[in-house]
């Protein structure tokens, strides 16, 4: 049933184009997160939870 609908439809290119744009942008974001950010700021981001304590910003002792 769906095969007959899609064979006669001229609008099949739009969902495929949308899917292609989504997959491309998803892969670019994954590349940016794992390749670009991991090389630049991995040590800086790893120390973020400890940074407040070392500067004396928060003190939970009451």
Query: Where do the domains of the chain lie?
Result: 13-53
pLDDT for position 19 = 95
- Per-residue pLDDT of the chain in tens (62 residues, 90 and over written 9): 677 777 777 788 888 899 999 999 999 999 988 888 766 677 777 777 665 555 555 555 55
Which DSSP string do the residues of 1-62 spell out, in sequence order?
-HHHHHHS-S-THHHHHHHHHHHHHHHHHHHIIIIIIHHHHHHHHHTHHHHHHHHT------
């Amino acid at each position: 049933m769906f095969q007959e609908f899609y064979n006669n439809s001229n609008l099949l290119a739009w969902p495929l184009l949308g899917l292609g744009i989504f997959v491309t942008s998803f892969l670019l974001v994954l590349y940016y997160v794992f390749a670009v950010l991991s090389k630049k700021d991995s040590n800086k981001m790893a120390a973020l939870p400890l940074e407040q304590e070392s500067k004396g910003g928060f003190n939970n002792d009451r």
